Structure 1
Amino acid sequence: MAIRVTCEKCLTRFNVSDKFAGKKGPCPKCKATIQIPDKTEEVVVHAPVDDGPKDSTGKSVLKPIMREEVRVTKLGIFSVAGSIVAAIIAAVVIRSMESVPGWIPPLGALLLAPPLVWSGYTFAREQELEPFYGRELQARVAICSVLFALLWALYAFVPAYVMDYDSVAEMPIGAVLVALAAMLAVGTLISVTTFELETGGGVVHAGFYIVGTLLLAMLAGIPLFAWA
């Protein structure tokens, strides 16, 4: 049986007969002296025992499970980027308006949800699990988007009833933090349920939407709390 040898000087690989095991000899290329490994130094790698079911030819009938990655296409990236740019432009336009109609904030919260939900899922999901894609992903994004948009109803109406404020513009920072914490808790539950995320991933996913919409609302000049 031949012994595989590598010259330490020129890195040439070649085989020598096992009768030269443990001896020295010249490299056939650079003539440097090479120490031939002893047979006891030989490493034998044994293949794992395959006890699974086999067909009539002896081949395994089981196929390895391939982990699939989220299919982030150029169209998806451009769609999200375009949505963000459009949202910023819309926020600037709204800020220049003398008065903001009451239907604009809830509509904005709903329209912003799909790109934020989809992009948030791409990095908040568990990497070792098979991702959702295709129509199933679209359905889950749609459901989560509607539920996330309703979180702002929680922010707008609960303080008015629980804390007796006439509008969110009267809420002090302490009340705002409590309301946002409640939104994050409910949003995490929505993310975990909708996308089967871990709790940490759910917090990141819900927080990504809440922070994104909050920043755009502030850019648009929509009053969400009392500054003083």
Structure 2
Amino acid sequence: MAIQVICPGCHTRFKVGDEHAGKSGACPKCKGEIKIPELGDEVVIHAPEMEAGAKDAKGRNVLKPIKRKETKFSTNIFVMVAGGVLLSVVIAFLLGRSDIKDTWVLALGAILLGPPLAYAGYTFLRDDELGVYQGTDVLIRSLACGWVYALLWGVYVYVGWNVFGEDAFKSGLEMLHLSILSGLVMGIGTFAAYVSFDLEPISAFFHYALYFLVTVLLRFVMDLPFLPGMKD
């Protein structure tokens, strides 16, 4: 085995046989004295170890890396959600011009809009670094998250009614009280989106904000105050 030697004087590189290991001698170029290293002093570079994983009969890896799926704008999803929201706006407009403004109508609209808006928001706001929820998994999460969003309107009314009083809620709450109620449901809604879809906190906030703004818009179209308990 040849030994790599570097002259400390002229820095010339050359090879000598392993029988000269540990000996001293003159550099062939500058004639300066050099000491040939021992065999044990050499740095041995090993070939990379075999990669872990299943192999085929020829020793090749049979496992393939999982490709990351990037968030892409889906025209089909956009058309379906936009169509559903537009239909809801038309229905709300017609109801606003009629005598039908019962609470059950608002509750039904909030429940029906929850899951599709939850699914649409997830497709736009999900983290590319995480796996994609699909099939039954995303359906269950969208239903659960959307219905929690609808339930939060009940929480809003219940807390406002019991904390600030029935008369104050009917006559119209102060802006501070409305801000407290809105902040309460926004916080719970953000947490629901965070748990349901593994979103980042800021993305979870915008996820619930999408639903909140759409339902507020529908109240306005129905010729109702933007928020329950708001003065006309």
Q: TM-score, normalised by structure 2?
A: 0.70
Partner of 1:82: 83
Residue pair 2:121, 2:207 contacting (<8 A) in 1 also: yes
Q: Secondary structure at the match of 2:223?
A: coil
Equivalent pairs, count:
181
The answer to whether residue 138 in structure 2 is matched with residue 137 in structure 1 is yes
- Listed as ranges, the gaps of 5+ residues in structure 1 are 1-47
Whether the aligned pair in 1 keeps the contact of 2:69 and 2:128 (CA below 8 Å) is no
The alignment yields a C-alpha RMSD, in angstroms, of 2.3
Distance 2:143 2:186 in 1: 19
CA–CA separation in structure 1 for the residues paired with 2:186 and 2:67: 34
In structure 2, the partner of 1:225 is: 229
What is the CA distance between 1:69 and its match in structure 2?
Answer: 4.5
Alignment-derived partner of residue 164 in structure 1:
165
Out of 176, 179, 200, the position equivalent to 1:177 is 179
Q: Deviations over 1:39-83 (max 9, x none)?
A: xxxxxxxxx976334333121132111123468765533321220
| Aligned counterparts of 1:162 and 1:60: Cα–Cα separation in 2 | 65
Task: Verify the 8 A CA contact 2:194 2:201 in the aligned structure 1.
Answer: yes
Corresponding residue number in structure 2 for 1:51 = 51
**Rg larger for:** 2
User: Unaligned regions of 5+ residues in structure 2, if any?
Assistant: 1-47
Residue type of the alignment partner of 1:118: Y
Q: Distance in 2 between matches of 1:168 and 1:147?
A: 25
Q: Hey, what's the Cα distance between the residues in 2 that align with 1:95 and 1:126?
A: 39
**In structure 2, distance between residues paired with 1:220 and 1:62:** 57
Match of 1:199 in 2: 201
For 2:183 and 2:203, locate their aligned partners in 1 and report how far apart those are by CA, in whole Å.
Answer: 16
SS of corresponding position for 1:100: coil
Alpha-carbon spacing, 1:199–1:69, altered in 2? closer, same or farther (3 Å):
same
Q: CA deviation at 1:220?
A: 1.2
- Residues in 2 aligned to 1:90 and 1:133: alpha-carbon distance in whole angstroms: 31
Compute the displacement of 1:105 (Å). 1.0
Q: Give the superposition deviation at 1:163.
A: 1.0
Tell me, in whole angstroms, the C-alpha distance in 1 between the residues paired with 2:71 and 2:56.
34
* Shift in CA distance, 196/118, structure 1 to aligned 2, threshold 3 Å: same
TM-score, normalised to structure 1, is 0.71
1:130 deviation in Å?
1.3
The offset of 1:177, in angstroms, is: 1.1
Aligned counterpart, 1:112: 113
Distance 1:208 1:183, change over 3 A: same
Equivalence for 1:63: 64
Q: 1:168 to 1:51 in 2, by over 3 A?
A: farther
Instruction: Give the Cα–Cα distance (whole angstroms) in 1 for the partners of residues 137 and 85 of structure 2.
Output: 24
Against the structure 1 CA distance between its residues 72 and 57, is the aligned structure 2 distance closer, same or farther, given a 3 Å change threshold?
same
Q: Which residue pairs with 2:212 in the alignment?
A: 210
Q: Distance in 2 between matches of 1:103 and 1:193?
A: 28
Corresponding residue for 2:18? none
Deviates more, 1:132-141 or 1:49-58: 49-58
